[in-house]
Amino acid sequence: MSQSSYVNNAIFWVELEKISPNPYQPRREFDEVKMKDLAESIRMYGVLQPLVVTRKEVFRDDGGMNVEYELISGERRLRASKLAGLQQVPVLIRSGEESSQLKLEMAIIENLQREDLNPVDRARSFERLSKEFGLKQAQIADKVGKSREYVSNSLRILSLPVEMIAALEQGQISEGHTRPLLMLVDRPEEQVVLFKEIVTKKLTVREAESLSRRVATDRIRNKAKYLDPAIIEMEKSFTESLGTRVRIEKGKEGGTVTIDFFSPDDLRALLDKFNHAETPQKPMTQPESAPVDDRAPADAAKDSDEIYSLKDFSI
């Protein structure tokens, strides 16, 4: 077959065994269930959209020639066709030797158009275009038909810790959850705490963003010279006792105590803790040698109220 006979977008049937995968395929994970569904569809209706390949003629030592094909786009269709037991598939043959960059670009674009790339695979694909082929973010954006901000935000995902990237790949967290996590990139301990809360408490993106902003606010508060160290210590004690974040804001008169919760169950658990704390304890027997409080009953009651009352705070 001469080159001129297949350059005009003609479709040819090629044996599956002669087509090698695209070495620049950006996708690493393929859903087995969806792949089986596609294979079943192919068994019933065939491959409706041809694969795109390059063609290469390789001369053997005995003077003969082998024809090899390398996939540019259509990885899912290629795999599903094998599952379906097909011997041949329809292909479009790209003329000439396609560059490695073009093979990667076409694979990325196809997956983006089909929304088949998970956020991590997409970010790694953009990273390859940047590192291996020296493309700027604006150039990548032009090639894949996205904004520069889209490319930049995708690449930022790769700055997250390995465990968070893995959770995103596995669907434990969404791409939206990466935004509040990235806000804490310079606070690794807080970032890990937020990540664990997202996973264990199934926080929504909005709840995670609210927590992330609060941590950023707390960072500014903790740097303030006027903030009483005793208040900070009490916040830590509250947090440890209640198992959730607690913030105390001190005003000119009184202040506010803010307690985080993320579900009705969390709120009930907090209420149970408060109720348990308010359970009256059996009074201790006063030893005979103890000094007697000879103040007026009203004065003593007032001191007791002021010690234990939260009248100056609101929750």
pLDDT at 165 > cutoff 80: yes
Residues 212 and 235 in one domain: no
With left for phi above 0 and alpha for psi between -120 and 50, is residue 134 left, alpha or beta? Answer: left
Q: Contact at 8 Å (CB) between 29 and 116?
A: no
**pLDDT of residue 301 exceeding 50:** no
Confidence label for 293 from pLDDT (cuts 50, 70 and 90): low
Kindly state whether residues 9 and 93 are assigned to the same domain: yes
Enumerate the active-site residues: 75
pLDDT exceeds cutoff 80 at 221: no
9 band by pLDDT with thresholds 50, 70 and 90: low
pLDDT band with cut points at 50, 70 and 90 for residue 160: very high
| Neighbouring residues of 84: CB distance < 8 A, sequence distance ≥ 6 | 39, 40, 42, 43
Structural domain span for residue 43: 3-98
Looking at the structure, tell me whether residues 274 and 214 fall in a common domain: no
pLDDT at 288: 52
- The answer to the question of residue 115 being in a domain is no
In a shared domain, residues 78 and 26: yes
Q: How many separate domains does the chain show?
A: 3
Instruction: Determine the pLDDT at residue 198.
Output: 93
State the pTM of this model.
Answer: 0.53
Phi-psi region of 15 (alpha: psi -120 to 50; beta: other; left: phi over 0): beta
Domain-embedded: residue 264: yes
In this prediction, residue 276 carries a pLDDT of 74
pLDDT single digits (tens) 17-57: 889 887 777 666 777 888 888 889 988 888 888 888 888 77
Query: Does 80 map to a domain?
Result: yes
Burial class (CB in 10 A: 0-12, 13-18, 19+), 216: middle
Tens-place pLDDT, residues 97-139: 556 777 777 777 766 666 567 899 889 888 888 888 888 999 8
Q: Specify whether 255 is located in the same domain as 214.
A: no
Question: Which range among 52-56, 155-159, 217-221 shows the weakest confidence by mean pLDDT?
Answer: 217-221
- What per-residue confidence (pLDDT) applies to 179? 92
φ, ψ for residue 314, nearest 5 deg: -130, 140
Would residue 249 count as lying in a domain?
A: yes
The pLDDT mean for the chain works out to 76
CB 314 within 8 A of CB 257: yes
